[in-house]
């Protein structure tokens, strides 16, 4: 996701704290695209996503002294973004749930074997069309699962990083991502 | 090995399966077309999910963020600029009027010099008066605080040094705790 290595990022944080604003500008340039890709898919509106992304950097800058170098800068930044997104969901009354709680019966679906009559979804659509269909299905799945899916597949975060951001066990995060993928597959299966 | 469970497929595709499990899965896949197809399908879906397009970011976005966190240098207030412009115009006008009225520039400068001297004298008198008032205020304040010091002296003779140290330490601890609580309360942003 980030072309910058961890040490360089921490050095940029230190330089920002010494008052070098151009060091923070480099961090903004490095993370603006990944953050927008994530926030855009969480809030759905481009202008709002741009405002939120801007807000994440403003908050990060204001609380940079509270950043603990033992963590990755990206993890810290995505945690700020996630909190902003969750606040937005709450205000918009978008249903959310705790990722550590079982998600109904569907949670067990992952432990099932493949159905004998499982139709192929991938071959149903043209390869070029598949991306658009995935994007559509992504909008249909529950917001907390969508968040993990986007972090994993658009932002390329590791399961460990995601677990750290959400303060959840790695195993739970993995299961939720698998669940999101399976939901997307089922939505595509049902799509005419 | 029996047919794969969905969770096993995703773990396998993620490279998360242990080596011995991976071997078993691969052996099973070479013999089971149903599982092979299910794995292939989920692999293609994952690839499609990982290549979702980036959202467009405006070219001036970094600039916008930096302008928010580092506002441009403060300019002088408009009223001050207008006042200074008015004053200099008035001075210029006076000079023009004086010269055109037949006065020599030298005598005009002498007059100005005299006025400045008068002004400086007035300021000096004002400062002297202010110092006198402040010293009087100091005396009154010391008279008022004398009973407090006397009380404190009496108290220190009554209380043993050990208790005094304890009271001072307790006050310091309370003060520092209060300060940190306030600092945390007003701190923006997130801390992992």
Say which CATH number the domain at A146 has. Answer: 1.10.10.10
Q: Is residue A1 part of a domain?
A: no
For residue A60, the domain's CATH number is: 1.10.1740.10
- The domain boundary, picked from A46, A67, A91, lies at A91
Q: Are residues A22 and A50 in the same domain?
A: yes
Whole-angstrom distance, CA of residue A51 vs CA of residue A68: 26
Window B:14-73, CB contacts with A under 8 Å: 14, 16, 34-35, 37-38, 40-42, 44-46, 48-58, 61-62, 64-66, 68-70
Same domain, A125 and A186: yes
**Does any domain span residue A166?**
yes
- The whole-number pLDDT of residue A7 equals 86
**Of A60, A91, A122, which closes a domain?**
A91
The whole domain housing A157 covers 104-190
The encoded tokens of residue B112 equal: 């100005």
Domain end: A42, A68, A91, which one?
A91
Of A148 and B116, the one with more pLDDT: A148
Helix (H) or strand (E) holding B94: helix B78-100
pLDDT recorded at residue B188: 45
Q: Does A191 touch chain B (CB under 8 A)?
A: no
In this prediction, what percent of chain A has a pLDDT beyond 70? 83
**pLDDT by 10s per residue, chain B, length 192:** 788 888 899 999 998 888 888 999 999 999 998 899 889 889 988 888 888 889 999 999 999 999 998 654 455 677 888 888 888 888 888 777 766 766 566 777 777 788 889 899 999 999 999 999 999 999 999 999 988 888 888 888 888 888 888 888 899 999 888 887 777 665 544 444
Band of residue A190 on the pLDDT scale cut at 50, 70, 90: confident
Residues in chain B closer than 8 A to A40 (CB atoms): 55
On chain A, the residues whose CB falls within 8 A of the CB of B45 are 121-122, 130, 134, 181, 184-185, 188
Q: How confident is the model at residue A104 (pLDDT cuts 50, 70, 90)?
A: low
Query: Are both A121 and A171 inside the same structural domain?
Result: yes
The mean pLDDT value for A155-182 works out to: 93
Per-residue confidence (pLDDT) for residue B178, from 0 to 100: 86
Interface of B with A in 133-192 (CB under 8 A): 187-192
Residue of B nearest to A77 (CA): B190
Note whether A85 and A92 are within 8 A (CB): no
Burial letters for A150-159: b for 16+ Cβ neighbours within 10 Å, e otherwise? Answer: bbbbbbebeb
Q: What's the confidence (pLDDT) of residue B189?
A: 43
pLDDT, position A51 = 95
Answer yes or no: do A87 and A108 share one domain. no
CA angle A181, A185, A188 (to 5 degrees): 140
Tell me the pLDDT tens digit for each residue of B148-181: 888 888 888 888 888 888 888 899 999 888 887 7
Same domain, A84 and A110: no
Q: How many domains does chain A have?
A: 2
CB A39 within 8 A of CB A112: no
Q: Do B188 and A149 touch (CB under 8 A)?
A: no
A77 in any annotated domain: yes
Q: In this structure, are A52 and A112 located in the same domain? A: no
pLDDT at residue number B192: 42
Q: Is residue A99 one of the residues assigned to a domain?
A: no
Contacts of B49 in chain A (CB under 8 A): 134, 149, 153, 181, 184
Place A155 in a pLDDT band, splitting at 50, 70 and 90. Answer: very high
């Amino acid at each position: 996701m980030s072309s910058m290595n961890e040490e360089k990022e921490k050095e940029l944080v230190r330089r920002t704290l010494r008052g070098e604003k151009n060091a923070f500008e480099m961090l903004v340039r490095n993370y603006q695209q990944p953050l927008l890709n994530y926030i855009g898919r969480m809030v759905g509106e481009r202008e709002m996503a741009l405002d939120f992304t801007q807000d994440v950097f403003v908050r990060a800058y204001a609380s940079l002294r509270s950043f603990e170098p033992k963590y990755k800068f990206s993890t810290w930044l995505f945690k700020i973004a996630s909190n902003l997104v969750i606040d937005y969901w709450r205000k918009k009354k978008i249903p959310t749930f705790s990722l550590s709680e079982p998600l109904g019966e569907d949670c067990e679906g992952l432990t099932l074997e493949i159905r004998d009559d499982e139709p192929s979804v991938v071959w149903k659509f043209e390869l070029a069309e598949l991306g658009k269909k995935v994007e559509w299905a992504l909008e249909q799945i529950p917001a907390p699962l969508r968040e993990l899916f986007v972090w994993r597949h658009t932002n390329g975060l590791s399961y460990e990083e995601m677990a750290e951001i959400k303060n959840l066990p790695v195993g739970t995060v993995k299961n939720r991502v698998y669940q999101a993928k399976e939901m997307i597959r089922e939505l595509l299966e049902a799509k005419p | 090995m029996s047919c794969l469970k969905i969770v096993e497929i995703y773990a396998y595709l993620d490279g998360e399966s242990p080596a011995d499990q991976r071997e078993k899965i691969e052996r099973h896949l070479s013999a089971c077309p149903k599982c092979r197809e299910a794995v292939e399908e989920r692999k293609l879906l994952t690839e499609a999910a990982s290549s979702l397009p980036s959202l467009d970011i405006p070219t001036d976005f970094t600039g916008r963020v930096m302008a928010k966190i580092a506002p441009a240098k403060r300019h002088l207030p408009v009223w001050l600029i207008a006042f200074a412009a008015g004053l200099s115009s008035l001075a210029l006008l006076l000079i023009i009027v004086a010269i055109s009225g037949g006065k020599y520039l030298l005598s005009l400068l002498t007059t100005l010099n005299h006025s400045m001297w008068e002004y400086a004298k007035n300021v000096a008198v004002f400062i002297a008066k202010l110092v006198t008032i402040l010293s009087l205020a100091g005396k009154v304040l010391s008279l008022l605080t004398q009973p407090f010091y006397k009380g404190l002296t009496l108290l220190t003779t009554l209380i043993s040094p050990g208790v005094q140290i304890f009271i001072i330490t307790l006050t310091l601890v309370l003060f520092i705790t209060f300060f940190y609580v306030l600092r945390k309360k007003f701190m923006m942003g997130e801390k992992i």
